Amino acid sequence: MAIHSTAIVDPKAEIAADAEIGPYCVVGSDVKIGARTQLMAHVFLEGKLSIGEDNVFFPYCSCGVAPQDLKYKGEASETRIGNGNKIREFVTIHRGTEGGGLVTAIGDENLLMAYVHVAHDVMIGSHTILANGVTFAGHVTVDDYANVGGLSAVHQFVRIGAHSMVGSRSVIKQNVLPFSITATQHESAIYGANRVGLQRHGFAQEEIEPLQNAFRILGHANLNTTQAMARIEEEIPQTAAVKELMAFIRGSERGFIK
């Protein structure tokens, strides 16, 4: 393995033979680092932390540190990071708490741009893009292929649905529907289906159009949620994506941005 002479690596840390640890990095005793993962410089890793293969940690990010939660009393929580992630400059990722299952987890092939904050017990899926300055409070869930715009702030226990796009500078206090474009810069609104994102990920037009019509009913038909869902079930083809959307709504205890 390539470990720079200025790096401080606890001898108990488990590091793959072909991982790279750059100048002035600090790696704690309970850290595991997988094959071909690279710490560029000034990266701080501690706590019970497992990191998969082919990740890149850019300078001045920190991962696995204790959560900013006054209820945290030092319990043995952890952080899990999958494969192929890019963790950019000054990103902070905190480990879990007893109140959230003791785990903060990030999947595969995610891009966390500079200054993203991932709080305790956050669960991030795979193939997400989190733009500069995105801030998650504790217990947030981000589903696969979500895209969150820069400087957005996400409230505790919110879920951001799969293939959704959140506009920059949004304040997200309720769940974000899957497949949607949602923003709250001025007032909360669904702007319809995330057409471009869905097309990029292989959705056909006959899958996108029913979603678009469903969002029109949800957001612009002057119906309450129960009425809108009944109309969607009656009028809109029940594709797999539409069924996923409806299941998401039914499971949204916090409500959703409409």
pLDDT at 41: 98
Average pLDDT, the chain: 96
- Let me know if 234 is exposed, middle or buried by CB neighbors in 10 A (0-12, 13-18, 19+): exposed
Q: DSSP 3-state assignment of 152?
A: coil
Is 121 catalytic? The answer is yes
pLDDT at 188: 64
Q: Are residues 48 and 137 in the same domain?
A: yes
Residue-wise pLDDT for 97-140, tens only, equals 999 999 999 999 999 999 999 999 999 999 999 999 999 999 99
Q: Are residues 123 and 220 in the same domain?
A: no
Query: What is the CATH number for 223?
Result: 1.20.1180.10
Residue-wise pLDDT for 7-26, tens only, equals 999 999 999 999 999 999 99
Least confident range from 42-46, 65-69, 187-191: namely: 187-191
Q: Which of 138, 149, 161, 167 is catalytic?
A: 138
Is 120 catalytic? The answer is yes
pLDDT at 145: 98
pLDDT at 204: 96
pLDDT at 17: 97
Q: Are residues 111 and 6 in the same domain?
A: yes
Q: Are residues 205 and 136 in the same domain?
A: no
Residue 220 pLDDT > 90: no
Is 18 catalytic? The answer is no
pLDDT at 258: 82
Q: Which of 47, 107, 117, 121 is catalytic?
A: 121
Q: DSSP 3-state assignment of 228?
A: helix
pLDDT at 106: 98
Under the banding of pLDDT at 50, 70 and 90, the label for residue 187 is low
Between β-strands 26-27 and 123-124, what pairing exists: parallel, antiparallel or unpaired? Answer: unpaired
Q: Are residues 113 and 218 in the same domain?
A: no
Residue 219 pLDDT > 90: no
Residue 190 pLDDT > 80: no
Closest by CA to 138, choosing from 115, 117, 111, 152, is 117
**Can you tell me the mean pLDDT for 52-69?**
98
Is there a domain that residue 193 lies in?
no
Residue-wise pLDDT for 146-168, tens only, equals 999 999 999 999 999 999 999 99
Is there a domain that residue 66 lies in?
yes
**Can you tell me the mean pLDDT for 36-51?**
98
Domain residues for the domain of 240 are 198-250
Query: What is the CATH number for 50?
Result: 2.160.10.10
d(CA 172, CA 187): 11
Is there a domain that residue 153 lies in?
no
Residue-wise pLDDT for 246-256, tens only, equals 999 999 988 99
**Can you tell me the mean pLDDT for 185-205?**
88
Q: CA dist 239 to 215, 221, 243, Å?
A: 14, 21, 6
Domain count, the chain: 2
Of the chain, the percentage scoring pLDDT greater than 70 comes to 98
For Cα atoms 228, 144, 60, give the angle at the middle one, nearest 5 degrees.
Answer: 130
Q: Which of 94, 117, 120, 163 is catalytic?
A: 120
